[in-house]
Structure formats: C-alpha cells, structure tokens
A = this chain, B = another copy of it.
Amino acid sequence: MDAASIATQFIKFYYDTFDTNRAALAALYRPTSTLTFEGNQFNGAADIDEKIKSLPFERIKHQVGTQDFQVGPNGSLLVVVTGQIWFDEQPAPQLFSQTFTLIAENQTFYVQNDVFRLCYGV
C-alpha cells in the first residue's frame, strides 16, 4: 500500500474512532510512543490511553481540513493534519493542528509520535 493510502486511511480511522469510541485509540500506541497534548507530554500507550479517555468532554467532532504526509526519518511516515473541532454543545469550532509519525509493524502501522495543538492567535 502506498504512503498516500496509508496516511489517508490512518487519518480517517483515527478521527472516526476519536469521535465515536476514543478508548479504542489505545491500540494505535506502543510503550515507546509519545503524545504531547496542548504542551503536556505523555509517554507510553498506557499513559496516552488514560489521557485520551480522561479528556473532559462528552461529545467531540473533528473535521479534517488539510492532510499532508511525507516519508520521515528511517522509513517512518510523517502525517500532518489541520482542521476544526466541535466540543460538546459549543456552537463555534476551534482550529487544531496534529502531527503524527507512523512506524511500520507487521502489516500495519503504530503511532510513534503524536503532537496536538489548538491554534489560537498569540
């Protein structure tokens, strides 16, 4: 499968899963994975899973605006997404940026790096 297909399928799976059953995202991470969420760092699948599950909203919807990918260091896949998020009942979305590196493992990929930021004016 080519890099564009992998990136596109990953992005669809990640945000669909985040918006409907985010506990299932844990399977994407490994003990070596790192998440930086709004400047706070979480190391390893267990801590990342706990952080994602504990985020303080009931409902969330991501809408992907742009998706870019490149072959990254050592054959990894670098994926960069920008878009909008709706939280709970808030009428206006917020802009976000999220960067992943994906590493091949057997016939699939796991997330080595994950950096999430809401985009605000300074």
Contacts and interface: CB of A to CB of B under 8 A. Distances in A.
A43 to B, nearest CB: 10
Contact of A117 (B68, B72, B78, B112): B68
Interface in A52-96: 63-66, 68, 70-76, 78, 80, 82-84, 93, 95
B119 A36 contact: no
Interface residues of A, number: 35
Contacts of A99: 78, 80, 99, 115
Interface of A: 34, 36, 39, 41, 63-66, 68, 70-76, 78, 80, 82-84, 93, 95, 97, 99, 101, 103, 112-113, 115, 117, 119-122
